[in-house]
Amino acid sequence: MWLVLPTMKLMSPVKIRGRRRGLSVLSAVVVLATVVPAGAILRASAEPATTAERILALQERLGHASAEEAEAILALEDTRERRAALESDVLALDATVLEATTELDAARRESDRLTAQYLEISRRLDETEARRRDARARFNETVATLYRTAGGAAGSYTALVLDSTEPQRLYAGSRYLAGVSGARWDVVEELRALQKEAEALAAEADRGREEVAEALAGLEAEREQLERLRAERAARRDAAAAEQLAEERQVAEVRTRVAEYEAELASLQATSSEIGSMLATAQAGQQPAAGFVLVRPVPGEITSGFGERVHPILGTVRMHAGADMHADYGTPIVAGAAGEVVWAGWRDGYGNTVIIDHGNRFATLYAHQSVVRVSVGQTVEAGQVVGEVGSTGLSTGPHLHFEVRVLGTPVDPAPYL
């Protein structure tokens, strides 16, 4: 059974921005002011397999949460999980986009370097070609002069110098020109050197052209990959934003459900206060007991203990005034100790309820019964059946809500069981 504290506050939603190492968080994560996230409540133990079991687990942790409230909380939890996964994807894509951008910049710099290098080689080749044309013109003039002074043989020897690859023919031609004129031989040597330089530069320019083409192709591939990554990241961002809107709508739904339920809990609190006043008056002259030991009213374990609980979504505080004990519908409920029945019947949110005064200022309460087996004024013994487990009053499933009260004030039952 849950009681709402008078000092209960609804905490406002807060937006938190975070940063992970080297990665920017792309959208604000809405975190409602809670002590425990909804998912953590259900996952403190092994996660149930079905929605019905998850709702039951949540209700056991919250106490008497309404089914609608529990369903709304689970829907919100699922939305938050999807959103967290999407935001994780966005963060991972942030890192990939950053890496791809760095690679694209490096590829662009390399392409620029190779292009500049190719242009420089082309410039040098153009200069060499110009010098070669000039040397060819001077060489032609030299050949013409030789022809005039040495007859037609000069042309054939000149061809030997410029075109021959066989050492003997090249030597013969070179010796002829050297013998004719040292100055004219210099022109031949210059032309031959420029031809070799031009050939080397042309080969280097061809290689440079291929490297530039390859670099440009790689650059385009990097650019396309970056665009794909950015498009994917944008899609994930949009999906995360949609989940955020869904989350905000679901939070509003939870608030609506809880507002309705809190009204019922307020009524229950009033009933609990009435019970407390009744017992305090009846037990006013009693002396406190040195000790108090109870028979367990049902064999099932305690599924929700005594104490304050913080709502996993809203942060509101609810006081659980007893212990919820697991039991199937119709399970016999026995008196924890001998005493007199001071209430047997309907008590608003408690449903069918039995209250026993045990003397020495102690009393016990057994709520949500399907059937009451005792009457007011009846004396009962410890272990005697007083009713059967049900789900009457403010309850969402069969169980026993059990309270121990001292002068009407609820205390933790666990130490007495």
What angle (nearest 5°) sits at the alpha carbon of residue 258, between those of residues 254 and 264? 160
- Domain total in the chain: 1
**Parts of the chain with a pLDDT under 50:** 1-48, 153-154, 160, 164-167, 169-172, 176, 180
- Residue 67: CA count within 13 A, CB half-sphere: 6
pLDDT at 363: 96
Q: Does residue 92 fall inside a structural domain?
A: no
pLDDT at 388: 98
DSSP reduced 3-state for 293 = coil
Q: Does residue 315 fall inside a structural domain?
A: yes
Q: Does residue 289 fall inside a structural domain?
A: yes
How large is the C-alpha radius of gyration of the chain?
A: 47
Given CA atoms 186, 191, 194, 200 in this order, what sign does their dihedral have?
A: negative
Look up the domain containing 335 and give its range.
Answer: 268-416
220 dihedral zone (left: phi>0; alpha: psi -120 to 50; beta) = alpha
Q: Does residue 141 fall inside a structural domain?
A: no
What does each C-alpha distance from 169 to 163, 175, 219, 284 come to in angstroms? 10, 10, 51, 138
Q: Does residue 261 fall inside a structural domain?
A: no
Spatial CA neighbour of 65 closest among 318, 251, 348: 318
What does each C-alpha distance from 398 to 45, 295, 304, 391, 401 come to in angstroms? 22, 20, 13, 4, 10
What digits encode the pLDDT tens for the residues 338-381? 999 999 999 988 999 999 999 999 999 999 999 999 999 999 99
CA dihedral 218→223→229→235, nearest 10 degrees, is -150
Q: Does residue 338 fall inside a structural domain?
A: yes
Specify the DSSP element, H or E, that contains 344: strand 339-346
Question: Taking the complete model, does pTM exceed 0.75, yes or no?
Answer: no
How many Cβ atoms from other residues are within 10 Å of residue 22's Cβ? 8
pLDDT at 246: 79
Q: Does residue 118 fall inside a structural domain?
A: no
Q: Does residue 202 fall inside a structural domain?
A: no
Report the alpha-carbon distance of residue 272 to residue 339 in Å, rounded.
Answer: 20
The residue type at 285: G
pLDDT at 183: 52
Q: Which CATH number characterizes residue 356's domain?
A: 2.70.70.10
All residues at 6 or more sequence positions from 40 whose CB lies less than 8 Å from its CB, including other chains: 312
What angle (nearest 5°) sits at the alpha carbon of residue 43, between those of residues 302 and 298? 10
Report the alpha-carbon distance of residue 404 to residue 321 in Å, rounded.
Answer: 9
